[in-house]
A and B are shown apart, each in its own frame.
Chain A
Amino acid sequence: QVQLVQSGAEVKKPGASVKVSCKASGYTFTDYYIHWVRQAPGQGLEWMGCFNPKKGDIQYRQKFQGRVTMTGDTSDSTAYMELSRLNSDDTAVYFCSRGRSQLLPGDQWGQGTLVTVSS
């Protein structure tokens, strides 16, 4: 069955970077975009950007431009999201999701990775 399995929780200090992985299985990795969506504690969902494993093109939400990097390894069917210059507002659960389109919907989601930014 289709699965997206994310890396474990992280605790980072302000100013540091975090890299979250998302390993896909059960489908052809290059057939779907990988999206990254985050959710701050008690808040709603915020799309961060997406990565196209087939073509390698990437689209970032403007607010994250310059701070986020999305990549993928097709040999390993794994996508990565790295966020730099972390601050307390980046404390959130980060989800990966696959979708046929650049604009979602995501039909399968990873379990989420909690990133806590604290001094």
Chain B
Amino acid sequence: DVQMTQSPSSLSASVGDRVSITCRAGQSVYNYLNWYQQKPGKAPKLLILAASTLHSGVPSRFSGSGSGTDFTLTISSLQPDDFATYYCQQSYYSPPTFGQGTTVEIK
């Protein structure tokens, strides 16, 4: 299975901050990399697919970049609704695998 490693595992930030989360794949997944947001007790929500394509309805403050093995999710100006756990997921190799998650907490 392709291992996906996110960093950091958690971070504290303030409303208005620019936040970046990194995801590294154990081997190249080209641009087959997706990002999800999950809040406690809720299902994940798709934010970004194919590394940089914003899913329908997702605010433009979210963006994704990268290809191959290194990817980044950026929130340009953190909003109160963005405090959550974020997961990356590769969809190139079977089985699809997720990173361990990055929790964004209020500073």
Contact = CB atoms under 8 A, between A and B. Distances in A.
Interface in A85-102: 95, 97, 101-102
Interface stretch (B12-20, B65-73, B75-83, B94-102): B94-102
A95 B44 contact: yes
Interface size class of A (residues with CB under 8 A): 20 to 34
B43 A109 contact: yes
Contact of A105 (B56, B91, B94, B100): B91
A47 B97 contact: yes
Interface of A: 37, 44-47, 59, 61-62, 95, 97, 101-107, 109-112
Does more than half of chain A's interface fall in helix, strand or loop, or is it mixed? loop
Contacts of A95: 43-44
Contacts of B101: 44-45
Contact of B91 (A59, A104, A111): A104
